[in-house]
Each structure stands twice: as C-alpha cells, then as structure tokens.
A and B are shown apart, each in its own frame.
Chain A
C-alpha cells in the first residue's frame, strides 16, 4: 500500500489576544501530528470538540498554513504549494463540510453549483457533454436530473448533503476530506448518507479522511481510526482492533460514554475532575485515573504496541500493558 497522504510532525499554533492591546498568547492546536492515509482506505479521525480535528482538515486542504511539519498529498507538498499548484491540488483533493445549509450558495441552482468547479478547471466545455456529465453525477449521489434546476432551499438536509457530495466529486478527486458530514442530519437520513459515502468510496476508489465524534459511525465507514485529544494523536489502529481492544485510557473513557440501545448508563468512570492544564506531560493526565508522576512530566510518544496498533501512553511502555488491556 502506498501512502496517498502523508502528514509528518505537524504543528499549528494560533495566536490570540486576551484584550485588544494585550500581549498575544500562543495556543497550540496541533501538536506533533503524524498520520498517513494509504490509498483507497478510510481513516476516521475521532475526538471531542476543540481537539483540533477541523484544524487538521484545514491544514491538509491548504486553507491554513502549519507552523511546522509537512503535509504531502500524492507527491505534492501542500503548505509549500504555490497558488497554481494549490489549484491543481483541488482536482486531487476535495472536501465535504458538516453544515449542508451553510456550504451551498443559496442563490445558485444545483446546476450552477456543480458547474462552478468545472468552469474553474475548464472541463467539459462542450454543452451536451457537460449536461450528460452533470446528469450522471447527480444520479450517482441518488438525486435525479430534474433536481439540477432547483435551488438549495428546495431540498432537505439529507438531499443538500448529497449535493455537497456531488460537488466534491465533480472533479473526480482521489482524496476526500469529510468534516463531520452526517452529524447535522436526522438519524433516519444519516444512514442513507453513510451508505452513499461507502458506495462512492468503493466505486471511485477514494481515499477518505473522515472526521467524526461518533464512534459508531466511524466503525461503519472507516478502515482505520485515529483518536485525537488536545491536538495530539493518542491512539491509532485498524477500526476493529481499536474498538475491540482500546489501549489508551482516553479512548476507553470515550467509548464507555457512548450511549447505546440496551447498554445501561455507564457508571461514573474513574475520572478525576478536570484540573488545570496538563502543563508538561500527557494532555490526558489531569483526567486519567492511571496517571503517574511520569505522565505529568513527560509527553508519551506514539509507539507501536502491537502490529498496526499505535498508542501514546506511558503506562503501556512501563510493562502495564496487560493490566490496561484487561
């Protein structure tokens, strides 16, 4: 398997001022993120709000410049790319956003929305050819050709998300970045969109970075899952492996909190009240029941604990591996 996307030692720092004339304060949003997406696989990026999931998407897409580190998509270094190179990149990598209401221009018909990327990249200039292409495109996402002449407000949330998907697919990209594409949808519609995403991944042989906060959704769609916390990757493994044997205490905490039909309310986990910021050590240490002094002083490195399973926890490297697994 060749890696389609390579992210190495990525850091992103934002600066904010507490008040207008105050000194800037650095906020590290991404810390030493290393991820690789093999071709034709779906990597699920799971984490809570504010952990840096969306920032990672932005850096990957070239919308934000990283503070340091490299992002290479199919041989192209994204942060170093010139405008012209970035434009070329757009044909390789596309994005679907969470809110299907905010991401479609209300004054454009579906035909205009889908034609725009074709115009920019000067594709299908022949009118008949283009119409045929657009009709096939909307059909491939489960809409019908007559929908092309309608405006976004005439569609429901699920249908709008189909339009967003069609627009992302218009340039036939190799990589798709999906930032919480189903979390704004009704449950009965979520399943439809998840099925659609799975179908297009297969038929188009796409590589997908799928950002979500929902483990159940990640399990359905993703081949691999990476868990993020405060800008760091805490654990990364094939989806089945991660869900069956979560190694990091944070992953375990997250998983036990997911409500499921038939599962009784999780009892209070062995979790400390959220204390002050982690300071030097593991970002999860202030909440972790297993935290030791080592955790508070040193950032654990992401290590391969079993084949394909990576985990950043000091406990695992100190021979407590079995204890955690049980």
Chain B
C-alpha cells in the first residue's frame, strides 16, 4: 500500500485475570491502518473486538492486561508512553465513540459544558471561544438550532442526537483516528443510516482514519475499505471489503454470510453455523473454529493454522495453505 500507516498493531496480546488463572482474550492481533481509511473489525460477542479497541487507548479495565505486542501510532509505541504523554494522544490524535451514547454523556451537565470541557482541556481557549467552537461542532454533525440546543441536557436529546454529540466531541480536536465501537447498535435503522452517513462523510472530509467495530456484517460492507474478521481472539480473515464479501475464504466468514436472513430472497431454512462461539479466554490448541467447522480435520484440532497472506487477502485456515 502506498499510503503510510497511521496506526500499526503488532502481535497484540491481552489477558484477563480471573481468580487464579489468566485468560487470553486477544491472542496476537496484527494489522496496519492506513491514514484516511476505514477498517471494520467484525466479530461476535466475546471475540475480543471491544477489548482490542479499549486497549488502543489503554482504557482496559483493571482485570485486563496487555501481555505483549506493540501499538504504534506514527511509529511511536503507545504502550511505552507515560500518563502525561498518553493524554496528548487521547482525544487529540485518537478519539473514541461508544455503543450507548446516552450512557457516555454526563446527565447533569449541559451538552455545551461537556463539549467546552474537552476543548478547554486540550486547547488554550477562553470560555466564549470554546462556546463558539462547540456551536460550530454541533452544526458540523447536523444538529439544527445548535445555538439553543447547546444549553440543553442529554436527556433532552434522542439517542441518535446523543450519538451526534458524541461524534462532535470526538471530532473536537481533529484526531487522526476515530475508534467507533458499535456506534449504531443501540439506534433504530433509519437513525443508524444517518449516523453512518455522517461518520463516512466526516471521515472523507477530515481525511480521518476510522476503526469501525461492529457485529453487523452488512454495515461493515457499507462503510469499510478493509475488513478484519475476529473469532476467539484471533484474526480469521482480513481483506479489502469488496473482496471479503464477494469471495470469503474462511469457513467462519462463509458461514456467517450464508446465515444472514436476506431482504431479497426468502429461504426455506437459514444455513446456520452449528454450536456456540467460544467463551472469551477459552483455551484451545488448534483453530478456535474447529468445533463448528464443516471442514475440520485432525490437523486443525492439533495445531493452529497461521495467517497466510495472498495478495491483499489474509486467511487463517489450513485449506488455504495448499496451492
């Protein structure tokens, strides 16, 4: 790729401490995010997608520990930064929005207070300047009548509007990277479409890179340039979005895509993937998908296939190793 990566994750490993044992939740994740591109990280609950996102800003809960790997932001390893240096990165270089917008806002402060707080914490602005900036930001994310609404409280905003405020806050310091962790899961479809359009539009205008975390394959196919499929804490497949959805190679990706109910055709039966996804931290020797895989062989049970890259398409499956 010609564009230099703005973020590089190398062999990232995260363990969760549980009583006596430590459970591997993320087991060696590597990718690079080119500037101005959208990477979708797709996975089911327990796949490690949210933990991975939190670790990028070192926001893991106390039980979580990064046990190995590197997170390079423009060549600088975020894992070695001091608290003060980290604060320079958070918000200014990498910003994040979360799933439940109403829970991410402080209910007793006005929208304006919260936006100004972010602005004043990072930039030398007077109260009046910060307020003007905040109004501009709200207008940018499509909130009508921003002058008036800035004095309102989060409960006076709908879910979609709250998410717009969160996006405004994330964009306040023009970050290079936006991490969006299931930003539309709590919203209705029509509102979801609006928010996705907004993120996409701002991403293109501000030339921002986005890590878009979702469980919704269809949504990933609409926003992403590149898609990474996580399962059991590992990358199973990674490819440019078009290629991944037209020619999925890993049996898990194939199974997921086949099992989606479609709007266009009515099928007699959905080809469901049997079994359950692994529990976070479940320890397996072989491929984590083995218990559910229609092509599983003895080899798959005993050793873990490596992530093999052909062109821009990387797959973790023994079936792909053969020429």
Is the CB–CB distance between A48 and B189 below 8 Å?
Answer: yes
The answer to whether A188 and B273 touch (CB under 8 A), given A215-B263, A261-B245, is yes
Given contacts A191-B272, A220-B266, contact A260 B188 (CB under 8 A): no
Among listed B57-65, B108-116, B174-182, B219-227, interface-contacting one: B219-227
CB distance from A152 to the nearest CB of B (A): 15
Classify chain B: how many residues form its interface, as a range: 35 or more
Contacts of A217 in B (CB 8 A): 261
CB interface residues, B 73-105, toward A, < 8 Å:
none
Find the residue from A239, A243, A258, A261 having the highest chain B CB count within 10 A: A261
Given the interface pairs A240-B266, A258-B189, the reply to whether A220 lies near B221 with Cβ below 8 Å is no
Of all chain A residues, which has the CB nearest B270? Answer: A191
With A48-B190, A188-B272, A189-B276 in contact, do A261 and B261 touch (Cβ < 8 Å)? no
Measured CB to CB, the closest approach of chain A to B321, in angstroms, equals 24
Whether B272 and A264, one on each chain, are in contact in the complex, defined by CB atoms closer than 8 angstroms, is no
B188–A187 contact, CB under 8 A? no
- Given A195-B270, A268-B197: A190 and B257 within 8 A (CB)? no
The answer to whether A257 touches B193, judged by C-beta atoms less than 8 angstroms apart, is: yes
A238 to B261, CA, bound (A): 18
4 other contacts beyond A189-B277, A239-B266, with CB at 8 A cut-off? A186-B45, A186-B277, A191-B261, A215-B263
Q: Is B285 an interface residue (CB 8 A)?
A: no
Query: By the criterion CB–CB under 8 Å, are A191 and B222 in contact?
Result: no
Residues of A within 8 Å of B118, CB to CB, are none
**B215 in the interface (beta carbon within 8 A):** yes
- Evaluate whether A260 and B193 lie within 8 angstroms (CB atoms) in the complex, with A195-B272, A198-B269 already known: no
What is the CB-to-nearest-CB distance from A250 to chain B, in angstroms, rounded to a whole number?
Answer: 9
Interface 1/0s, chain A 208-241, versus B by CB < 8 A? 0000011111011000000000000000000110
Query: Which residues in chain B, 245-285, are within 8 Å of chain A measured between CB atoms?
Result: 245, 255-257, 259-264, 266-267, 269-274, 276-277
Given contacts A187-B44, A220-B261, contact A262 B221 (CB under 8 A): yes
Distance between Cα atoms of A63 and B306 in the complex (Å):
55
Residues of A within 8 A of B30 (CB): none
Contacts of B45 in A (CB 8 A): 157, 186
B218 CB-CB contact with A under 8 Å: yes
Is B50 an interface position by the 8 A CB rule? no
User: Does A265 interact with chain B (Cβ within 8 Å)?
Assistant: yes
Query: Is A159 located at the chain interface by the 8 A CB criterion?
Result: yes
A127 adjacent to chain B (CB < 8 Å): no
Bound CA span A254–B221, Å: 19
Distance in angstroms from B215 CB to nearest chain A CB is: 6
Residues in B neighbouring A264, C-beta threshold 8 A: 222
Known contacts: A186-B44, A216-B262, A220-B266. The answer to whether A261 contacts B255 by CB under 8 A is no
Q: Tell whether, in the assembled complex, residue B190 and residue A254 are in contact, meaning their CB atoms are under 8 Å apart.
A: yes
- Contact assessment for B276 and A156 in the assembled complex, using a CB-CB cutoff below 8 Å: yes
14 contacts across the A-B interface (CB closer than 8 A): A157-B45, A186-B45, A187-B256, A191-B259, A214-B261, A216-B263, A220-B262, A256-B193, A257-B193, A259-B219, A260-B262, A261-B221, A261-B245, A261-B257
Contact residues of A: prevailing secondary structure: helix
Whether a CB of chain B sits under 8 angstroms from the CB of A81 is no
Which A residues have a C-beta under 8 Å from some C-beta of B?
A: 48-49, 156-159, 186-192, 194-195, 198, 213-217, 219-220, 239-240, 243, 253-266, 268, 271, 273
By Cβ-Cβ distance, the 8 closest A-B pairs, closest first, are A191-B272, A191-B259, A191-B270, A257-B193, A48-B188, A259-B218, A216-B261, A186-B44
Interface presence of B146 (CB below 8 A)? no
Please name all residues of chain B whose beta carbon is closer than 8 Å to the beta carbon of A213 when the two chains form the complex.
Answer: 188-189
Contact of B260 among A48, A243, A261 (CB under 8 A): A261
CB distance from A247 to the nearest CB of B (A): 17
What residues on B are CB-neighbors of A255 within 8 Å? 263
User: Are B222 and A263 neighbours in the complex by a CB distance under 8 Å?
Assistant: yes
Within the complex, the shortest CB–CB distance from B187 to chain A, in Å, comes to 8
A220→B267 contact, CB < 8 A: yes
| Residue among B223, B263, B270, B292 making CB contact with A260, cutoff 8 Å | B263
B136 at interface by CB-CB < 8 Å: no
Within B227-257, which residues are at the interface with A (CB < 8 Å)? 245, 255-257
Indicate whether B196 reaches chain A with its CB closer than 8 angstroms.
yes
- Note all chain A residues with C-beta closer than 8 A to B245: 261-262
Give complex CA distance A213, B188 in Å: 8
A260 touching B255 by the CB < 8 A rule? no
Give the residues in chain A near B271, CB-CB below 8 Å.
191
Residues of B within 8 A of A266 (CB): 193
A264–B218 CA distance with the chains assembled, in angstroms: 10
Q: A188 contacts which chain B residues (CB < 8 A)? A: 44, 255-256, 259, 272-273, 277, 292
The minimal Cβ–Cβ distance linking A34 to chain B, given in whole angstroms, is 24
Within 8 Å CB of B304, what residues of A?
none
Give bound CA distance, A258 to B260, whole Å. Answer: 13
Question: How many whole Å from A165's CB to the nearest CB in chain B?
Answer: 15
Contact, CB under 8 Å: B217 / A261: yes
B274 — which chain A residues lie within 8 A by C-beta?
Answer: 192
Whether, in the assembled complex, B3 has its beta carbon less than 8 Å from a beta carbon of chain A, the answer is no
With A48-B190, A216-B261, A220-B261 already in contact, the answer to whether A265 and B200 are too (CB < 8 A) is: yes
Q: A191 with B273: in contact, given A243-B263, A265-B200, A268-B197 (CB under 8 Å)?
A: yes
Residue of B nearest to A267 (CB): B197
A47 vs B267: C-alpha distance when bound (angstroms): 23
Question: How many angstroms from the CA of A253 to the CA of B189 in the assembled complex?
Answer: 10
Nearest B-chain residue to A255, judged by Cβ: B263
Closest chain B residue to A244 by CB distance?
B264
- State the CA gap A313–B210 with chains docked (Å): 41
